[in-house]
Amino acid sequence: MNHKKVISAVALTAAGALTLAGCSGGTKGGSTSPSDTGSATTPARDSISIAWEAPLNSLNLTSNNGNATQNTVIASLLDGAFYWYDEDLATQDDESFGTIEKISDDPLQVKYTYAADTNWSDGVPVGAADLLLEWAATSTHFNTVDIEDEVDEEGNIDVADDQVAFNSAITSSQLIEDFPEVSADGKSITFTYSKKYADWQYSFDGRSLPAHIVAKRALGIDDPTAATEALIKAFKDKDNAALAKVSKVWNDDFNFTTLPSEPELYLSNGAYVLKDYVKDQYLTLAANPDYKGARPASIPNVTVRFIEDPMAQVTALQNGEVDLIGPQASADVRTALENLGDQVVTSFGVEGTYEHVDLVFQKGSPFSAATYGGDEEKALKVRQAFLQTIPRQAIVDNLIKSSNPDAAVRNSFILVPGSEGYDEMVAQNGSSAYPDAGDIAKATELLKEAGVDTPVKVRFAFNADNARRVSQFALIQDAAKQAGFDVVDASAPAADWGTLLAQKQSEYDASLFGWQTQSTAVTEADPNYRTGGINNFGLYSSKVVDGLLDELQVETDPAKQLELQIKVEQELWKDAFGTVIFQFPAIHAWTPTLDGVKPSAISPTIFNQYWEWKAAA
C-alpha cells in the first residue's frame, strides 16, 4: 500500500504536527557570544541574506507535497497567522491578523474571525472562505477516492478528472464533520467538532491558500466575491463536478521551484511578498507595502540563498555573502565558527528535532510477522534483537558530543529530554529494556530464541547525502553484525530520500531520520503511531495504541494526558516499534551587525521573530 508523504517535528510537553526534518533547526538554551550592532546613529541596511539548506517547492503547506520545513520557514515571512511561538515556545496571539474563540464546550465550537485589515497582497480580504477551503481540503470528507491508493512513488496522484481527490496531510480537521457556519460579512467562520478535542486551539493557524484564486482557476470566475461564494456553495452542495476541479488546482497549482509567471500563485497576507525566485539558487522577499498587522518587516529586503553543505554556509557567513545561518551541527562546523571569534555571533544548544530508527512491519521485512507465516512472537524477537544492537551511546559519544558536550541518549518517543514529565516517562515506558550502549549478547540470544537463519538481512534506509547519517549507519552496521545481522545500505540521495521513505517501504526494512516539531500540541505524535497515520512510515498497527490515541485526543487534564502518553510508549517499546537516539544539537551564527535574532527550537527556527531584526551597515 502506498502511504502519503509528510515532511516535520518534535513534542515539547507532549506531542502536534510533525514534519520530516531537514538539517536546520532552532536553538533552545546554549550560549551566545557578545554582539555589537553599533550605536543608534549607525545607518541601517535595507537588506540581508540568509542561508537555508533546501529550496521552496510549494506554498500549499498542508498538501502532502508541500508539508515540509523548507516551505513553512518561507511561508512564516509571507503569511500572517492567528498565533505564533516566541523563542521560549510560549504561544502568542496576533489579534491584528485575527482571533480564535471557543464559544461552546458541549458541543465544542470554535470561532475564527479575521481582522478588518487582513488582506491578500492583491487587495482581496482574507476571510472565512479561505479557512473553509483549508478545512474541506484537509478533512478528507469530500474526497471520492482513497488518497492512499492513488499516491504514486513521487508523492503525486493521478485520478480521473471527475474524481475529488485533495492530496492532503490528514489533520484534526477530520474531527469537524458538520459544515461550518460562515458569517454574513464573510470574515468569521465557526466550526463544530464531532467530539471533544484537546488541541482545538492548534487546529488551524490561519495559513491557507487564497480561496478566491483557487476558485478562479478551478471554476473560471474572475470576481473574487462571486468566486468565493461559488466555492462555498460547491462544498456545501457536494458538487463533485466542481470540487474535482478545485481539488486539482489545490493539489498542483501552488507547487513551484521558480517564480511563477502568474503573480496570483504567490499571493501573501503577511509582512513580505515574494519578488524573485531562481531555481535551486535563491529567492528574494520584499516588505509588503499594504501590510497593516502587528509584525511588519523591519528589514525591507530579505534574500534566502539555498546552501545545502553546512561548511559552505559557514564560509558564506565568513565571506559576508550571508548574514545568518543555521547549518546542521557538527564538530567541524562548531570549530570553524569558534575560530572566527568576534567576526560572528554564535549560539549553541539543542533543537526541536530528534533522531530515531523505525522498523517496517509489512510482509517481506524481517521484522514483520507476515514474513514468518503470521508468527508474531518470532517477528517480535527479531525486532527486539535488532534494536538491542543499535549503539545509541556510541553514536552520541562519537557524533553528537563534539557539537553538544551535554548530549545524552533520548529515551522517549514523545517527550523531549528536560521537558515536564520526561523523567517520569522514561522511568515507566519500558525503554530500560534497551540499554543506551546496546546489548550484543542479548541480541544474539534473542535471535537464537527466534529460530531464524543468520545472518538476518536488514535493508537500512537513510539520506545518503547526510554525512552524520552515513557515520551512524557505519556504527549500526558494525554493531549489528556482531549479533548476526547483515545490515545493507538501502540509502537514497537527498533528492530521492523523501520518496523512498514515504512511498517505497518494500525497498527497506529499517529507516533512520529525524522528526522536527512545529507545535506544542499534545496530540502531535498521533500521526507517527496510529494505524494508517501519515507519519507512520513503518506501517505499524496496534488497536491498543489507536485506542489510547483516541483517548488522548479528547483528554484535557495534563496529568491524565501524561498517563495516556506513558501507556502509548509502553506499547511502542513492548512491540519494538523502533528506537530513539538523540536530540539534535543546534548551531546558529550571524554577523554582529544583525541584531534581534531569536532562533526557535521549532519551525520557523532561524526565521523566528523576523520583525525584531535590525541590520546595521
Examine the pLDDT at 379 and tell me if it is beyond 60: yes
3-class secondary-structure state, position 376: helix
| ∠ Cα 108 543 550 (to 5°) | 10
Whole-number pLDDT of residue 564? 97
DSSP β-bridge partners for residue 588: 347
Examine the pLDDT at 446 and tell me if it is beyond 50: yes
Q: pLDDT tens digits, residue range 569-607? A: 999 999 999 999 999 999 999 999 999 999 988 889 999
CATH (residue range 356-389+430-511+521-579) = 3.10.105.10
Whole-number pLDDT of residue 155? 60
Examine the pLDDT at 517 and tell me if it is beyond 80: no
DSSP class of 349: E
CB 282 within 8 A of CB 51: no
Largest Cα–Cα separation, the chain: 77
Whole-number pLDDT of residue 30? 40
Question: What is the helix (H) or strand (E) element at residue 511, kind and residue range?
Answer: strand 510-517
Cα–Cα distance, 467 to 416 (Å, whole number) = 24
The amino acid present at 341, given as its one-letter code, is G
Phi/psi of residue 48, nearest 5 degrees: -140, 165
- Pairwise pLDDT comparison (560 vs 11), residue with the higher score: 560
CB 579 within 8 A of CB 66: no
Examine the pLDDT at 37 and tell me if it is beyond 60: no
**Nearest alpha carbon to residue 304 among 32, 71, 25, 122:** 71
Q: Which residues have C-beta within 8 Å of that of residue 537, sequence separation ≥ 6?
A: 3, 358, 360, 501, 502, 505, 511
- Pairwise pLDDT comparison (18 vs 380), residue with the higher score: 380
**Nearest alpha carbon to residue 436 among 580, 315, 566:** 580
Q: Percent of the chain at pLDDT above 70? A: 91
Q: 3-state SS string over 44-78?
A: ECCEEEEEECCCCCECCCCECCCCEHHHHHHHHHH
CB atoms under 10 Å from CB of 311, counted, come to 15
Q: Buried b vs exposed e over 356-369: b needs ≥16 C-beta within 10 Å?
A: bbbbbbbeebbbbb
In total, the chain counts a number of residues equal to: 617
CB atoms under 10 Å from CB of 495, counted, come to 9
Examine the pLDDT at 25 and tell me if it is beyond 50: no
Whole-number pLDDT of residue 11? 31
Q: Percent of the chain at pLDDT above 90? A: 76
Cα–Cα distance, 328 to 22 (Å, whole number) = 9
Examine the pLDDT at 22 and tell me if it is beyond 80: no
**Nearest alpha carbon to residue 133 among 270, 262, 251:** 251
How would you classify the pairing of strands 510-517 and 456-461? parallel
Cα–Cα distance, 436 to 388 (Å, whole number) = 9
Mean pLDDT of 35-60: 76
Q: Please provide the average confidence, as pLDDT, over all residues in the chain.
A: 90
CB 30 within 8 A of CB 351: no
CB 399 within 8 A of CB 329: no
**What region does 532 belong to: left with phi over 0, alpha with psi -120 to 50, or beta?**
left
CA count, 13 A, side-chain hemisphere, 312: 8
Angle between helices 128-139 and 224-237 (to 10 degrees): 40
DSSP β-bridge partners for residue 354: 515, 583
CB atoms under 10 Å from CB of 295, counted, come to 20
- For residue 100 the three cell numbers come to 480564535
Q: pLDDT tens digits, residue range 81-114? A: 999 998 888 899 999 999 999 999 999 999 999 9
CA distances from 580 to 132, 356, 413, 489, 570 (A): 38, 4, 6, 20, 14
Whole-number pLDDT of residue 350? 84
Cα–Cα distance, 526 to 544 (Å, whole number) = 13
Could you state, in order of their start, the residue ranges of all structural domains in the chain? 81-252, 356-389+430-511+521-579
Query: pLDDT category, 209, cuts 50, 70, 90?
Result: very high
CB 518 within 8 A of CB 62: no
3-class secondary-structure state, position 283: strand
Mean pLDDT of 337-366: 94
Mean pLDDT of 165-187: 90
**Nearest alpha carbon to residue 608 among 179, 3, 76, 8:** 76
Superfamily of domain 81-252: Dipeptide-binding Protein; Domain 1 (3.90.76.10)
Question: What is the helix (H) or strand (E) element at residue 482, kind and residue range?
Answer: helix 467-483
Cα–Cα distance, 460 to 342 (Å, whole number) = 42
**Nearest alpha carbon to residue 371 among 460, 487, 447, 452:** 452
3-class secondary-structure state, position 386: helix
Cα–Cα distance, 480 to 438 (Å, whole number) = 10
CB 490 within 8 A of CB 464: no
How would you classify the pairing of strands 485-489 and 456-461? parallel
Mean pLDDT of 315-339: 95
Q: 3-state SS string over 525-592?
A: CHHHHCCCCCCCCCCCCCHHHHHHHHHHHHCCCHHHHHHHHHHHHHHHHHCCCEEEEEEEEEEEEECC
Mean pLDDT of 420-442: 97
Sign of CA dihedral 50, 56, 59, 64: negative
**Nearest alpha carbon to residue 114 among 284, 197, 228, 219:** 228
